Amino acid sequence: MVRYVALLRGINVGGKNLIRMADLKACFEDMDFEGVATYIQSGNVVFSAGAENRAELVQRIEAGLSERFGYAANIVLRSREELRDVVEHAPAGFGTAPALRRYDVLYLKEPLTAADALRQIPSREGVDEVHAGLGVVYFSRLISRATQSRLSRIASMPIYASMTIRNWNTTMRLKKLLEGP
């Protein structure tokens, strides 16, 4: 069995695609996944699955979610090892000054690469710091100048459909959940 986290895009945001976490958990259990747990309302599902083709697994989950909840499901999938790499390969100092900076991880959906994403993601010098990672982009911004950050512009760009964003605290919590029993 392989331990994964499914990061759902576009649920419970702005009153759209409202899904209770208990219903989401039940949906994954009905798809025969084991050890299912959810974390906060933004759509993070930790589960175990047999070794199957990754693309087929993503397709199966998206189809199951779409059928059950009546929306066009879109997920980003990461294994325990991949999420561990996201944390271990973060830029030096990333996440260490939460009183000064906000830290987010932009999880990219294949085939989007971090190099391609970096060319498209806007940033403001002196406010934003953006770094490529393993299937992710690390994005931080000064809290004191957060209104000047360019992160919010991503939501109106075509690239946004190929990513989902989680803050650093959520990333660390998901890593801990994946490494649990």
DSSP string, 95-163: TS-TTTEEEEEEEEPTT--HHHHHHH----TTTEEEEE-SSEEEEEEEGGGGGG-SGGGGGGSGGGGGE
Specify the pLDDT at position 31. Answer: 96
Chain mean pLDDT for the chain: 93
Give the C-alpha separation, 41 to 18, whole Å.
9
Amino acid letter, residue 40:
I
2-79 against 83-179: fold identical: yes
Residues whose CB is less than 8 angstroms from the CB of residue 87 and which lie 6 or more positions away in sequence, other chains included: 171, 172, 175
pLDDT digits (tens, 9 = 90+) for 15-51: 677 788 899 999 999 999 999 999 988 789 999 998 7
Residues whose CB is less than 8 angstroms from the CB of residue 102 and which lie 6 or more positions away in sequence, other chains included: 140, 141, 143, 146, 167
Neighbours of 19 (CB within 10 A): 19
Q: What average pLDDT does this structure show over 49-77?
A: 93
Lowest mean pLDDT: which of 42-46, 77-81, 85-89, 91-95?
Answer: 42-46
pLDDT digits (tens, 9 = 90+) for 121-144: 999 999 999 999 999 999 999 999
CATH superfamily of the 83-179 domain:
bacterial protein sp0830 like (3.30.70.1260)
- Whether the per-residue pLDDT at 12 is higher than 90: the answer is no
**Fold for domain 2-79?**
Alpha-Beta Plaits (3.30.70)
Amino acid letter, residue 43:
G
- Whether the per-residue pLDDT at 90 is higher than 70: the answer is yes
Sign of the alpha-carbon dihedral angle for 150, 175, 11, 114 = positive
**Domain ranges in the chain?**
2-79, 83-179
Neighbours of 29 (CB within 10 A): 13
